[in-house]
Chain A
Amino acid sequence: MSFPWAKQYEPTNPVAKFFDEKLPLPRLVYNAVGAGYPVPRNLSYMWNFGVLAGFCLVLQIVTGVVLAMHYAANDAVAFNSVEHIMRDVNWGWAMRYAHANGASAFFVVIYLHIFRGFFYSSYKAPREMIWLIGVVIFLLMMATAFMGYVLPWGQMSFWGAKVITGLFGAIPLVGESLQVWLLGGYAPDNAALNRFFSLHFLLPFVIAGCVILHIWALHIPGSSNPTGVEVKSESDTVPFHPYYTAKDGFGLGVFLLIYCAFVFFMPNALGHPDNYIPANPLSTPAHIVPEWYFWPFYAILRAFTFDFILPAKLWGVLAMFAAILVWFFLPWLDKSPVRSGSYRPLFRIFFWVLVVDMLILFWLGGAAAEEPYVMFSQLATAYYFLHFLVILPIISSIEKPKPLPFSITEAVLGSDEKSVLKNKSEPTA
């Protein structure tokens, strides 16, 4: 679907015509990210992160496929094969640092993309399906990143794998059998490393498939925008190309500058030194921490230290998964008819509290599991669940939103000649 005023693809040259008749791929691209896709004219730079996430996925797949040509998924030689890539493979160090930091960059971009969605309620009707697929992509990314971190078979690889797969052991009755089945053994070893490599290669392509669904679902209602007011007429939109290709191009440049600063100047800043020590099942590192992008959820996992009916460990596992699964229900938990946080005075306060809460959880997930950090993480975890499950539903029914503009055009230009019959006091989302 598209808006009636969307430009149509009209090939003039005979080759393009030939393709359009037999396999209209150029038409597909034209309508998806070309001049055939009308986009709200008022998107801020917060709308750059979708394209950047797509870029990161391609970057990870390209660098990853090259790395896989030189990597050996065998616990006897995996660590050495990574050093072989770093030292002997032409440009191997660049590929590996690009891939390792690419994972971090991907998560930075995705977190910003998700929090953009939180603030502007991008999950609300008619965009629920885009949101749901997005959460699935995030879960797939977490699985992929976790398994990727195991592949170098350093100390953190091994012990991270042991701790995370150990979580399945908390499930009553079937937990331990499930854990053994997942690992192919009682502890991470060659069987686990091999299947993690296989899945780490497979999942990015599953993600790519989900991204296609995500974009397909996006093109049904069209992009959201900072006012949250739906597109009404042609003056509300501009064609994706050249307006947003140009804007995304600039955003991509800024992104690459920051990303390359990490790759070339501090490639190990986001990693853990222990992962340059080969995996040793007989020597436990002093602090086992996952990669930084898991820290908020790791903090939630460790916050549950009290056996209330269920064992504390099981509570932690349930809460960690619930912390992400709750995002699936956002479209129905937040019933405010207004989308944009800019017009929701009460919601906006709690949104920023959530941002701070999340940053605190980031900090605590990387901190040692000792007091007072555990107490802080318990308070931060409590707020996290209260925010999504209690505060959001309640404020969406008691809040009095600010008046919305009649249209995107009015929001941008100050007036819209089509708004003759407008009634500004009522939300017109």
Chain B
Amino acid sequence: MIRLVGILVGIGFTFVVLLAFVTGAYTAATEGLGEETAEKAFHLEAHGPAGGFAHDGLTPEWDLAQLQRGYQVYKEVCSACHSLEFVAFRNLEDLGYSEDEVKAEAAAWVVPDINPDTGENSTRPGTPTDYFPSPYANDVAAAAANNNAIPPDLSLITKARHHGPEYVYSLLTGYQEPSAELAARFPDSVPGPGLYHNPYFANLNLAMAPPLTTDGQVTYADGTEATVSQMSQDVAAFLTWAAEPSLVDRVKLGWIVMGFLLFVTVLAWLAKKSVWSTLKTRKD
């Protein structure tokens, strides 16, 4: 009885889903497999800089000089529009700055506060315990200043995109004029006013004007030549650190854990072998 009901129910579900398949297959046969979109045809996969990042792979290191340069790019360029809300000035000690340098650096930023005498909004120089201030008072102000597109917070940007560090690098170096082919095949995908073409962006056009445009836009203290590619990879590395300051420690600890586990697992295997060796086994 239960099997009979089961067979009927099974045939029922199969019938309905195959009906759906037949209608889908008919549509596909008569109209093809959906429309080709500009995103599918012209979107490019993110790629990292030549030689990759120091934090890549299974033996990652922070390139402190690079992180400091990347921080400088964030401070002088990105921070005009993008916040970094989960990072505090005290975290900058990770980049190799001393406690005094961090204090001085924090003091160079203006953070919002409340006037203790009047209770009114005021500002003061930052201290190491402050977090990076947002460039805008609120989302409405951010949208109003940026053609209705709110610049995303950058503290997690490399974790919030597929292949984040490579994505940031590719996006920053990937601005270009839309190709003639794109304009011919997908006239709607040509950037409108206030939009810029970038094949690494999900829908090919974004509201952010190219932020790094000329070599030497930032003057590096360590003398590194500030090409657009160099600035892009430096800030991508800095944002990777900002998104996950524990990345390098995590992988390093991972090797110790793996080593320990491997040792214990070998012991466990020997123990298992020894315990089972007393049992009779097949004679033939």
B250 touches A264 (CB 8 A): yes
Distance between B119 CB and nearest chain A CB, rounded to angstroms: 23
B283 touches A87 (CB 8 A): no
Secondary structure dominating the interface of A: helix
State which residues 253-284 of B face A: CB under 8 Å: 253-255, 257-258, 261-262, 264-265, 268-269, 271-272, 275-276, 279-284
A379 contacts chain B at the CB level, 8 A cutoff: yes
Q: A246-B276, A277-B160, A332-B3 known; A371 and B28 CB under 8 Å?
A: yes
Task: Determine the chain A residues whose CB is within 8 A of the CB of B250 once the complex forms.
Answer: 93-94, 97, 264, 267
Task: Determine the chain B residues whose CB is within 8 A of the CB of A412 once the complex forms.
Answer: 281-282
Task: Determine the chain B residues whose CB is within 8 A of the CB of A24 once the complex forms.
Answer: none
Alpha-carbon distance A379/B13, docked complex (angstroms): 12
B271 touches A249 (CB 8 A): yes
B221 contacts chain A at the CB level, 8 A cutoff: no
Central interface residue in B3, B18, B253, B276, by most chain A CB within 10 Å: B3
A250 touches B268 (CB 8 A): yes
B73 contacts chain A at the CB level, 8 A cutoff: no
B16 contacts chain A at the CB level, 8 A cutoff: yes
Alpha-carbon distance A308/B27, docked complex (angstroms): 17
Chain A residue nearest to B16 (CB atoms) is: A308
Distance between B246 CB and nearest chain A CB, rounded to angstroms: 5
Chain B residue nearest to A84 (CB atoms) is: B86
Secondary structure dominating the interface of B: helix
Task: Determine the chain B residues whose CB is within 8 A of the CB of A41 once the complex forms.
Answer: 279
A253 touches B269 (CB 8 A): yes
State which residues 238-292 of A face B: CB under 8 Å: 238, 242-243, 246-247, 249-250, 252-254, 256-257, 260-261, 263-265, 267-268, 273-274, 276-277, 286
Q: A273-B162, A375-B24 known; A253 and B264 CB under 8 Å?
A: yes
Question: Which of A356-364, A388-396, A418-426 lies at the interface with chain B?
Answer: A388-396
A122 contacts chain B at the CB level, 8 A cutoff: no
State which residues 43-93 of B face A: CB under 8 Å: 58, 86, 91
Q: A249-B268, A306-B23, A378-B17 known; A257 and B262 CB under 8 Å?
A: yes
A303 touches B17 (CB 8 A): yes
Number of interface residues of B (CB under 8 A): 62
Q: What mask results when residues 147 to 183 of chain B are scored 1 for a CB within 8 Å of chain A, else 0? A: 0000010011001111010000000000000000000
Q: How large is the interface on A (under 10, 10 to 19, 20 to 34, 35 or more residues)?
A: 35 or more
Task: Determine the chain B residues whose CB is within 8 A of the CB of A243 once the complex forms.
Answer: 275-276, 279
**Can you list 30 pairs linking A and B with CB atoms under 8 Å apart?**
A83-B155, A94-B250, A97-B250, A243-B276, A249-B272, A250-B268, A250-B269, A250-B272, A253-B265, A265-B251, A267-B250, A273-B164, A276-B243, A304-B20, A305-B20, A306-B23, A308-B15, A308-B16, A308-B19, A319-B13, A322-B13, A329-B6, A333-B6, A371-B27, A371-B34, A385-B17, A389-B6, A390-B6, A412-B281, A413-B281
